[in-house]
Every structure is written in C-alpha cells, then in structure tokens.
C-alpha cells in the first residue's frame, strides 16, 4: 500500500529519474492527468501499466475510489502531464485524503518548471514566493496588490495568450522598472530566457509572439534602504 507522486519531464525526456522509471514499472496502477500524454511517455520507456484518468474535473469524485484501492494494498503512482504532481496540478486532495487515512505517501524528487526558471533568471533565489496561476478575473487585482509589496522574488505560471496582459499588469501594479524574466519552454529545444525591466518586456512581447509553456520570475519589491537609494538616484537625475 503506497501512493507515489512521480514527477515527469517538463521538456527533455532525459530529465526523468531512474527511480521514477522503476516506480512506474513496479506500481499496480498509474493515475494520469491525461492518459494520452502519459501513455506516450510510458510507451517511450517501454512501460505497460493500467492507467486511470485523474484530473481537475474528476478528482473530487475519484479520490474515495482510489483510497479504497490503496487500502486493498495497491501501489499507485500519480503523474501529471509534466512536472511534479500537486504543483498547479491535481494531487493535493488525494494526498490529504491519504494522510487522513494513514496511507503512506512518497513524493519523488524530480522535474518542475519553476525551479530551473528561478535559478537561471539571475534574480535572487534565496527567498522566493511561488504564486502559480493568478485568477483570470475575480480577485486578480487583489493578488497583484498583495504581490506588489513582497520583497521576495515572485514566480508565476502564465499561458502564452495571456502573457502580454500579465506583463502590462506588472507595469501597472508593481512598476515599470521591476526586472522580469520570461522563461519559455524550459528543458525543450527552443528554451528561451528574456530578462528585461517590466515596461521593456511588455513592449517586446507586444510585437513578439510567445509560444509554449511560460514561467514568469519577477524581482521582489525593494527594501526600504534600496527604495531610498532608488529615490535619491531619481532626484539626482532630475
């Protein structure tokens, strides 16, 4: 009886760990966010296992049935389309239910998109805040106002068609000079990092089409001492 959380590559298939492959080979069932996507991964590594669909639209209903199978002694591996289960993907409800039922849970270390984006951005990585996806409408401005005061590096996930709007909102709520890193297609053939002040970044993507998976890494709010230095430098410029 065991639930394994198995990270899968966000890009290059070589990023999967040997341990992840072993667990996928040994488990009884693979829970997959999209069985077609995960089926290709398993096929690539010549793994033949039963797959059950487990995604954001059925996880509430599916949890109890999965708990029952685990209590019968099954070993189940949870994977998502890419990255670590539970990070802006399904997984939390099932893990919580397992903990409540004293079912062991093992989370394997492995790929996730925001870590390489953060450490390769050149922005401070000693203190950071992971926001994930912002609300599309209700509560979005409230979140921006909250983030605007945060002095830690901020990490967001964003879709390509919403990127420009997001950058424009960074200019509006966090300021035009905040440094922003747009990390695109992490660990894939066309991996790209664009690192510019927020206003310049918004101008760049107003003419440059963005494609693929995107992680935004945003400079935190300046500390009081740094804010004073910036203010003094602006006064000298005048």
> From CA 16, how far away is CA 115, in angstroms rounded?
15
Domain 114-226, architecture per CATH: 2-Layer Sandwich (3.30)
Long-range contacts formed by 35-40: CB under 8 A, 24+ apart: 37/81, 38/8, 38/79, 38/81
In the numeric block, which tokens belong to residue 65? 């049935």
> From CA 3, how far away is CA 155, in angstroms rounded?
28
> From CA 42, how far away is CA 31, in angstroms rounded?
12
pLDDT in tens, 14-37: 999 999 999 999 999 999 999 999
Per cent of the chain over pLDDT 90 is 90
Residues 88-108 have a mean pLDDT of 96
pLDDT > 90? residue 134: yes
> How do strand 179-184 and strand 153-158 relate by DSSP bridges?
unpaired
> From CA 136, how far away is CA 155, in angstroms rounded?
16
pLDDT for the residue 230: 53
* Domain boundaries of the chain, sorted by first residue: 2-107, 114-226
In the numeric block, which tokens belong to residue 121? 């951005």
Asked if 2-107 and 114-226 have one fold, the answer is no
Q: CATH for 2-107?
A: 3.40.1010.10
């Amino acid at each position: 009886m065991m639930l394994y959380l198995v990270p899968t590559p966000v890009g290059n298939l070589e990023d999967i760990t040997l341990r992840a492959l072993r667990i996928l080979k040994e488990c009884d069932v693979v829970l997959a966010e999209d069985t077609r996507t995960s089926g290709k991964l398993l096929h690539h590594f010549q793994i033949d296992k039963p797959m059950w669909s487990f995604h954001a639209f059925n996880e509430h209903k599916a949890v109890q049935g999965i708990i029952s199978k685990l209590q019968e002694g099954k070993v189940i591996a949870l994977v998502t389309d890419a990255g670590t289960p539970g990070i802006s993907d399904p997984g939390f409800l099932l893990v919580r239910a397992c903990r409540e039922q004293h079912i062991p849970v093992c989370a394997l270390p492995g790929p996730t998109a925001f870590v390489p984006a953060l450490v390769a951005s050149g922005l401070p990585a000693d203190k950071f805040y992971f926001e994930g996806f912002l609300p599309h409408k209700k509560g979005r401005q409230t979140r921006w106002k909250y983030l605007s005061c945060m002095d830690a590096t901020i990490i967001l996930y964003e879709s390509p068609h919403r990127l420009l709007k997001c950058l424009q909102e960074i200019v509006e709520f966090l300021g035009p000079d905040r440094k922003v890193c747009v990390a695109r297609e992490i660990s894939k053939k066309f991996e790209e990092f664009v690192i510019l002040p927020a206003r310049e970044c918004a101008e760049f993507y107003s003419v440059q089409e963005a494609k693929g998976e995107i992680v935004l890494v945003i400079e935190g709010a300046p500390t009081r001492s740094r804010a004073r230095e910036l203010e003094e430098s602006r006064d000298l410029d005048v």
